A and B are shown apart, each in its own frame.
Chain A
Amino acid sequence: MDVAIVGGGPAGQAAALQLAAAGIAATVIDEQPRAGGQILRQPPSAVAVRDWLAGRSYRALKAQLAAFEDCNAVTWRGGTSVIGLSMNEDGAGLTLADGSGVERLHARHVLVAAGCHDLAVPMPGWTLPGVQPAGAVQAMLKSQQMLPEGATLFAGTHPLQLIVAAQLVRAGATVAGVHFAQPLRRFATWLSPAAAIARSADLADALAALATLRRARVPVRFGSAISAIEGAMRVERAIVDGVPIACDQVALCYGFVPQSALPRMAGATMRAAGPAGGFATVADDWMASSVPGLWVAGETTGVQGAPAAACEGAIAGIGIAQTMRAFDLREAERRAAPFRAAYVQHRTFAAVLDRIADPRDHFPPIAPDTIVCRCEAVPRAALAGGSANAVKLASRCGMGLCQGRNCEPTLLRLLGAPDGPGFTARFPARPVALGMLAGD
């Protein structure tokens, strides 16, 4: 096989389409059954959803998704996780797992476009049933039209919570409030001409979301910080600015961190991803990582939003095609030019968003008995030692099912070394049954 792409989100789709345009077939592997990625999380084909993602900012992405799904040069491997990646002289060895078994795949080039995930933010009570990342609430809504029961309170620093809260309201759910820990003036940069022009669609969506929330009389507060979540068996109230607010769900939204397991496993050079923490894969102008044959695009290289992810994916696709001699460098530059131009704009906006959403001064306090590593139930008080790996060994923090994906940014912050080094990445990227690995 020539090209394998991990991730069927905007970045992976764009790469596959550029490769197809160059006459190169690609296999796209995604653990979701259908293509779309985080932003266009599709409902299962059996579920009919009216007005699925009607917002203006989704239009171009939906067009790309339609082209991708119609593309004959793409082999779609949905419902399949890539659990291992190793690189050698002749390319990539991928280990795939689906419901029925484990399979090894070899590809000359592999593009990791695995997206990002919500930053987990510990605070007293955050492990109670009913507390979720805002992204998970949104994913349930997008893919299943499932609404949380009762009233949902949103808290954090990332503007995405406005969008998700409004989506809930439009779908008929109750929102108890949207609380931004940072002051309103931090949002002023959003209204700067440069940012507004760069991403008017997003701004329009945000303003529409605000209007929706206002009409539904949902309080939207700034400089209003959550500090704890309480309840006997599940969420009953959130403590915001020291005052209890009754609610049944809490959706937390402090930002996103790149999926980094596979590039780290393959030994790629990483860098600190940004204010929310995590690690981004370092890439050159053509989205090649430091390891020959391993390419990266989209949120894997840093969280910049869907349109930027699509641009990076397209550039990666063109870069891979050029390396495979589909055309010369001049033709590659010609094809990449519009994506490079658009990318500059999206980046400007992403930088503005990063500044607005910067959670670093607004993380809730973590008490000694607050759980930091949820998988292994490790409280803050148990975290002692030098490096992240040493703390992991001594305390089991990061030794659980999620491979430390969720606790790593918090642990590094608590160690006073937010830029790492983090945990050594270990196989498998997702848990997988022993029997499958043994070839049963």
Chain B
Amino acid sequence: MERADVAIIGGGLIGCAAAWRLAQRGARVVLLEAGEHNAGASGQNAGSLHFQLERRFLEQGEALAEQAARIATLNVLAVADWRAIECELGADLHVSMAGGLMVAETREEVALLEAKAAREAAAGLAVRLIDGDAARALAPYLAKSVIAACHLTDEGHADPRALTPALAAAARAAGAAIREGCRVEAIKTPAPGRFVLRTAAGGVTAAQLLIAAGAWSASVAAMANIHLPMVPVALQMNATERIAPAIPHLIQHVGRRLSLKQAHAGNVLIGGGWPARMAVRSDGGFDLARRPALSETSLAGNLRAAIDVVPMLARLNLIRTWTGTTAITADQLPIVGPVPRLPGLWVAGGGSAFTLGLTFARLIANAMGGERVRELDLFGPARFDHLNSFMGAA
């Protein structure tokens, strides 16, 4: 039985970043990854660094928008984390923070932008609302139909292909053990502050356990007899052929599902939360082992939105559409913090964790190291503790 201070389940961005931060603090860390690191959502995402409030937070009415706006405090921290990361890791992650524009095409959408900008200003994000011509002066490739945009100079994109491998390498260099092909099959809690994990390749025992298993987190938490209101969702992404640099910004839409940017290699990546369809098991649950099926409706809708906003895209060839599975939570906010019902058990995930994952990992490593981390107060699993009234170490 291998002994560790901290065991981490999941070798995505969050797991690898947490392993690195915890190992830097001197903890003995063992990370267990079922497959290969970066094979989950962390290697399949769009690479957007979006620090403006996301459209999905704004479309569910005032109350939820108000609550979700709290995420802006994390966004502010994430800007700083992203500015520092290439230097800290000594790796080229193709980070580009040349600014982002969230566009509007109708009057109602402009009103949404206005409300959004007010919330963001309150949280300390320097978002600027500009009209269509000013947007086109910055980004001449935008269509005439764009009548306003929110501009945030910190936004941009980075390379999901590079980030998690660089974090895994840094974690290893700092002394963490990262074991691939090690699916955790059972979690035992024989005593408070003791977790015993079983894998086909042997067992691990640790005083603290971090679940960073992305879309699988709820199933993994079930192994510890805990309910975690994180649900898997399948998304679809598109890549064009490579072209010469043409689109330096991250482009999003406040009223339609759209995010697009030109990646370092030259391909334009087009997404924005268009759903794919998850496979279903014969007993009715979602089958995360099978690849989600592409939705042609999403494909056409996504490309329509992209072309409406950036007309020159119509001529480019689509070379690849892919699907990936990520996790969102019951109230849209991430779940990052300790599980009250089982001392020593921690969770980090949910939401846009490419943008925010580095920040989650840094904060949770501090918290697991015994620091009081106020920034996480709003995001801990404690807010769902009622779901676990009948669960835990019974």
Chain A residues proximal to chain B, CB less than 8 Å:
84, 86, 93, 95, 104, 376, 385-387, 389-390, 393-394, 396, 399-401, 403, 424, 426-428, 431-435, 437-440
Contact = CB atoms under 8 A, between A and B. Distances in A.
B280 to A, nearest CB: 12
B215 to A, nearest CB: 17
Interface in B311-325: 313-322
Contact of A394 (B161, B300, B313, B317): B161
Nearest to B304: A438
Nearest to A401: B319
| Most chain B Cβ neighbours within 10 Å, of A95, A376, A437 | A437
Contact of A427 (B180, B294, B303): B294
Nearest to B44: A393
Interchain residue pairs A-B with the least CB separation, the first 7: A435-B314, A431-B317, A438-B303, A438-B304, A427-B321, A390-B36, A426-B320
Contacts of B294: 84, 86, 427
A401 B307 CA distance: 21
A95 B318 contact: no
B296 A434 contact: no
B119 to A, nearest CB: 32
Contacts of A393: 38-39, 43, 161
A387 B36 contact: yes
Contacts of B224: none
A434 B316 contact: yes
A95 B296 contact: yes
Interface string B303-341: 110110000011111111110000000000000000000
B39 A389 contact: yes
A390 to B, nearest CB: 5
A437 B318 contact: yes
A400 B319 contact: yes
Identify whether the interface residues of B are mostly helix, strand, loop, or mixed.
mixed
Contacts of A385: 36
A438 B317 contact: no
A435 B145 CA distance: 17
Contact of B314 (A400, A426, A440): A440
Contact of B315 (A104, A394, A399, A435): A435
B304 A439 contact: yes
B173 interface: no
Contacts of A403: 319-320
B388 interface: no
A394 B168 CA distance: 13
B165 interface: yes
Given A431-B241, A433-B318, A424 B291 contact: yes
Nearest to A428: B318
B204 to A, nearest CB: 21
B299 interface: yes
Given A390-B39, A424-B291, A433 B317 contact: yes
B291 A434 contact: no
Nearest to A95: B296
B265 interface: yes
A84 B321 CA distance: 11
A353 to B, nearest CB: 34
Contacts of A95: 296
B293 interface: yes
B366 interface: no
B85 to A, nearest CB: 18
Contacts of A401: 241, 317, 319
B240 interface: yes
B314 A434 contact: yes
Nearest to A265: B294
A93 B296 CA distance: 10
A427 B321 CA distance: 5
A340 B301 CA distance: 47
Nearest to A402: B319
B296 A84 contact: yes
A427 B322 CA distance: 7
Contacts of B318: 428, 431-434, 437
A353 B39 CA distance: 40
B167 to A, nearest CB: 14
Given A385-B36, A427-B294, A435-B313, 15 more contacts: A86-B294, A95-B296, A376-B265, A390-B38, A393-B39, A393-B161, A394-B161, A394-B165, A403-B319, A403-B320, A426-B321, A433-B318, A434-B303, A438-B300, A440-B314
Contacts of A431: 241, 317-319
19 contacts: A86-B294, A104-B296, A386-B36, A390-B38, A393-B38, A394-B165, A396-B161, A396-B265, A399-B239, A401-B317, A401-B319, A403-B319, A403-B320, A428-B318, A433-B316, A434-B315, A435-B307, A438-B300, A438-B314
Nearest to A424: B291
A437 B319 contact: no
Contacts of B313: 434-435
A42 B257 CA distance: 46
A303 B329 CA distance: 49
Given A86-B294, A390-B39, A396-B265, A434 B319 contact: no
A434 B300 contact: no
A400 B316 CA distance: 14
B270 to A, nearest CB: 8
| Most chain A Cβ neighbours within 10 Å, of B270, B307, B322 | B307
Contacts of B316: 433-434
A145 B346 CA distance: 70
A412 to B, nearest CB: 16
Given A104-B296, A385-B36, A428-B321, A433 B304 contact: no
B325 to A, nearest CB: 13
A437 B300 contact: yes
Interface string B170-205: 000000000010000000000000000000000000
A433 B315 contact: yes
A439 B36 contact: no
Contacts of B165: 394
Contacts of A376: 265
Nearest to B307: A438
Contacts of B270: 434
Contacts of A435: 303, 307, 313-315
Contacts of A387: 36
Contact of B317 (A426, A434, A439): A434
A434 B36 contact: no
Contacts of B241: 401, 431
A437 B320 contact: no
Contact of B306 (A84, A389, A434): A434
Nearest to B305: A438
Contacts of A390: 36, 38-39
A433 B304 CA distance: 12
A50 B306 CA distance: 50
A426 B322 CA distance: 6
A326 B154 CA distance: 66
A387 B315 CA distance: 34
Contacts of B161: 393-394, 396
Contacts of A439: 300, 304
Contacts of A386: 36, 180
B193 to A, nearest CB: 35
A84 B318 CA distance: 12
B293 A86 contact: yes
B299 to A, nearest CB: 6
Nearest to B270: A434
Contacts of B299: 427, 437
